[in-house]
Amino acid sequence: MSSSNRPPDGCGVRHEGQRLRVAITTETYPPEINGVANTLRHLVEGLERLGHQVHLVRPRQGREPAPPASPTRRESLVPGLPIPGYRGLQFGLPVYWRLRHRWRGARPDVVYIATQGPLGHAALTAARSLGIPSLTGFHTQFHQYSSHYGFGRLTRPIVRTLRRFHNRSDATLVPTAELREALLGQGFHNVHVFGRGVDTDLFDPKRRSAELRRAWGGTDQTPVVISVGRLAAEKNLDLALGAFRAIERACPGARFVLIGDGPARGRLLRSEPDLVFPGAKVGIELAEHYASGDLFLFPSLTETFGNVVLEAMASGLAVVAFDYAAAAACIRSGENGVTVPLGDETAFVSAAVATAADLRRLRALGAGARASAETLSWERVLTRVEELLYTVIRRRGGREARHEAMAAASE
């Protein structure tokens, strides 16, 4: 490491228990509504609670002013441009020189790069140029999304691009052991699990609203089916609609509430006028919508995790999902939800109908789901992330010490 890139005095390798300076770059963050933004909010706030200082780098949203600095957090807002087909989301511009200048003057102990867009690439390059330990997050299955937007032929090139990006960092964090094994099999290196938690104080069956159910046309004798997420092609919504229509035939009077926004919303409003589309919801309002349902359908095949599965479980809903990602990690089929083989649409519809038609079983699965969610705290997850940060810093420091010793011996 050149002298210009050395840490300032007193800023060497950090050890467990020491306060860290963590730079986090992400191209999405609340108030944007998506699973990555939600996870990053929990990560930032959790690191602050653990006593660490965070430098958050993200695109400016609209005309928002720069947030005031606090003892535990500083934010740098960078220019961004809209992502085609993803209204309300944007990618950050590649401000390499700005980040390099900032991190040379106020050097972080470690950089976490949550997204693989231009901002993420610039952040990784800046961290590597300064010799700062870096971790990347694999939060989104971009290679799987390509087939839903007419770019199926690009799947392999996208995987190669992602592999090159992540393998330039000291470690890649993924939400499940299942995804870790898949990426290792595709040539990704140093892959570790950064699990997910759920806020069981916010998402709670006690938030069930009889008023909401009446507004939706629901009754105590018929199931209210819930879906939460982006209304877009990659979420496999046609299967959810097919499953609900089968439920409706078995349970006349059933209602389907699709919470969220996205490019498919206009089409769905026109083609399915009898369904309920309350739009995107956040906070307590979202929690009330979850808790006021009975059955949660999650037909997506493109998730790295699926935070909504845990939110539904914490809200006391029975979940029907394919056996992968969050569902594979957290659902014991028949005890706290129902899973079916990945991609088996016939089994998904059958499971949805059988679950919805048996109200006693529906309630028992919901109670089991809530009990499981109560063991999935963010505190447990973030303590594991903290350990990974210390490990990466220690390993990088050890490698650099060996390299410098070898260089000195050769002189």
Same domain membership, residue 403 and residue 289: no
Residues 394 and 314 in one domain: no
Q: What is the pLDDT of residue 67?
A: 84
Domain with 28 in it: 10-197+377-410
What string of DSSP letters covers 208-275?
Answer: --HHHHHHHT--SSS-EEEEES--SGGG-HHHHHHHHHHHHHHSTT-EEEEE--STTHHHHHHH-TTS
Supply the pLDDT for residue 400. 59
What is the C-alpha separation between 76 and 262, in angstroms, rounded? 28
Does a structural domain hold residue 1?
A: no
pLDDT of residue 63: 85
The tally of domains found in the chain comes to: 2
* Residues 167 and 234 occupy one common structural domain: no
Residues 154 and 251 occupy one common structural domain: no
Look at residue 161 and tell me if it is in a domain.
yes
Cα–Cα distance for residue pair 134/148, rounded to 1 Å: 32
- Output the pLDDT for position 83: 75
Mean pLDDT, each 10-residue run in order, the chain (411 residues):
38 65 96 92 96 96 86 94 72 94 97 95 97 91 42 65 95 94 94 95 98 95 96 93 98 97 94 97 97 97 92 98 95 97 98 97 97 95 95 80 51 51
Are residues 363 and 381 both part of a single domain?
no
Q: How far is CA 366 from CA 257, 294, 315, 328, in A?
A: 18, 8, 8, 17
SS3 204: coil
If you write DSSP's letter for every residue of 124-164 in order, what string do you get?
A: HHHHHHTT--EEEE----HHHHGGGGT-GGGHHHHHHHHHH
191 and 55 in a common domain: yes
The reported pLDDT for the residue numbered 234 is 86
Residue 314 belongs to a domain: yes
According to the model, what pLDDT value does residue 91 have?
81
Beta bridge partners of 58: 77
Query: How much is the pTM?
Result: 0.86
Position 113 in a domain:
yes
Residues 246 and 369 occupy one common structural domain: yes
At 5 the pLDDT is 40
Residue 3 lies in a domain: no
- Judged by DSSP in three states, 89 sits in strand
